[in-house]
Amino acid sequence: MPVLVMKFGGTSVATLDRIRRAAKRVGVEVAKGYDVIVIVSAMSGETNKLVGFVNETSPFYDAREYDAVVSSGENVTAGLMALTLQEMDVPARSWQGWQVPLLTTSAHGAARIEDIPTENITRKFEEGMKVAVVAGFQGLSPEARITTLGRGGSDTTAVAFAAAFDAERCDIYTDVDGVYTTDPRICAKARKLDRIAFEEMLELASLGAKVLQTRSVELAMRYKVKLRVLSSFEEVSDEAGTLVTGEEDIMESKVVAGVAYSRDEAKVTLVTVEDRPGIASAIFGTLAEAGVNVDMIVQNISEKNYQHHEGGVTDMTFSCPTDQLKRAEKALEEARTAGKLGYERLETETEVAKVSVVGIGMRSHAGVAAKMFDTLARENINIKIIATSEIKISVLIDRRYMELAVQALHDAFELEKA
């Protein structure tokens, strides 16, 4: 029998009624002849509640026990889903991560999947089970302890199962009905995409689009797992949702597929840094060791060079997430105190946002950057930093202009048109 993987997020299983609704969707796929692997998240809000219990009990908690507690939310949902399917006369069983077993590294709270042996579930399918309901977000370490996969771990679980079982497709059910050209809450003209390439989706996910978790898209691209993003709250048809697939499955792409944004950005400038070989390595090595994710980087000629015509100094500017700014400042100041780095002062700015245009069509079309910059100039929006890749152009701008920039770029590239 062909295998289909279906993943239901927290909002899709938030109540018993919603679990019943999800179970009916599973029943439809079973009736089509599929053996179905259902990956479930904890009921909406449950994981946050469990994390709160852990923090209240033990502020400096043992990460192994943290995983034992927070993984339990998915176990409850898996059992309830299996019971609901059984009430519908669909042969179903729940599976916790260790029962599969889904094998992971030992990094508690942020484990990575190592292997998913298929024998146990395949044998049950052969014996007549039609649905395996698997608790997402969790696995088993080499030390035989429960692990969790971190933020968005259930998406990653679903794609990994689809790859391991060579599934026909992996359907991700969520509270949105697909992937849009941009956030519909910001731009009323945003259009749902029928298809999007893995690379485009990966860029959009990493740039702030919350539809799919970045790790899950990376995994899908590596193993060529077709993903379909659907709403749990709308009728399903063959045309529903957005298919995330290989570039070869998309007949012809628009130059730009979407506009993404991230409002939680900070800009950091190290003023008057010694301009010598190895200085960039010293700065960004220090930040990497502190766990700071640096994004855009610009090296400027220092003001001192203009004022005094002295050689040998530069200014270094970069962006990072706002919640990592304090960590970045602390790491850089400590490096300066220890004599590893020399700079005059540190300047930071938090009222900034990143706006990006993404599209595989950029590879074969010139002029995208010029059009983007011209559009922003017409709106009187100043660009602070620019970063580019083969299929993406990102700019850092004042946060107050973020929504205007998104709307203007969406119009300029005519993304409302199919």
Domains contained in the chain, CATH given: 3-175 (3.40.1160.10), 260-412 (3.30.2130.10)
The H or E element containing residue 300 is: strand 297-301
The CA-based dihedral angle spanning residues 107, 150, 257, 160, taken in that order and rounded to the nearest 10 degrees = 70
The residues, any chain, with a CB within 8 Å of residue 370's CB and separated by 6 or more, are none
Count of C-beta atoms within a 10 Å radius of residue 273: 23
Q: What's the number of CA atoms in the CB half-sphere (13 Å) around residue 396? A: 22
Question: What are the backbone dihedrals phi and psi of residue 128, each rounded to the nearest 5 degrees, phi first?
Answer: 115, -10
How would you list the strands of the sheet with 103-104, edge to edge?
A: 113-115, 103-104, 138-140, 146-148
The residues, any chain, with a CB within 8 Å of residue 165's CB and separated by 6 or more, are 3, 5, 37, 118, 121, 122
* Integer Cα distance of 270 and 328 in angstroms: 11
* Integer Cα distance of 90 and 285 in angstroms: 55
pLDDT given for residue 286 in this prediction: 94
Provide the H-helix boundaries in 262-401: 279-289, 303-308, 325-337, 368-378
Tokens 């300029």 locate to: 412
Amino acid symbol at 3? V
**Cα 291 to chain center, whole Å?**
18
* Integer Cα distance of 113 and 161 in angstroms: 10
The region, left, alpha or beta by phi > 0 then psi within -120 to 50, assigned to residue 299 is beta
Q: Is the pTM of this model over 0.85?
A: no
pLDDT given for residue 279 in this prediction: 87
Q: Which of 361, 334, 333 is nearest to 345 (CA)?
A: 333
Do 110 and 69 meet the contact criterion of CB atoms below 8 Å apart?
no
- Cα–Cα distances in angstroms (integers) from residue 57 to residues 51, 54, 65, 359, in the given order: 10, 5, 11, 47
The H or E element containing residue 197 is: strand 195-197
Do 143 and 180 meet the contact criterion of CB atoms below 8 Å apart?
no
Amino acid symbol at 376? L
**Cα 414 to chain center, whole Å?**
26
Per-10-residue mean pLDDT, the chain, length 418 = 95 95 96 97 94 92 95 97 98 97 95 96 97 97 96 92 96 88 90 90 75 86 92 75 83 82 92 86 93 88 52 86 94 91 92 93 87 96 91 94 96 91
* Integer Cα distance of 254 and 358 in angstroms: 10
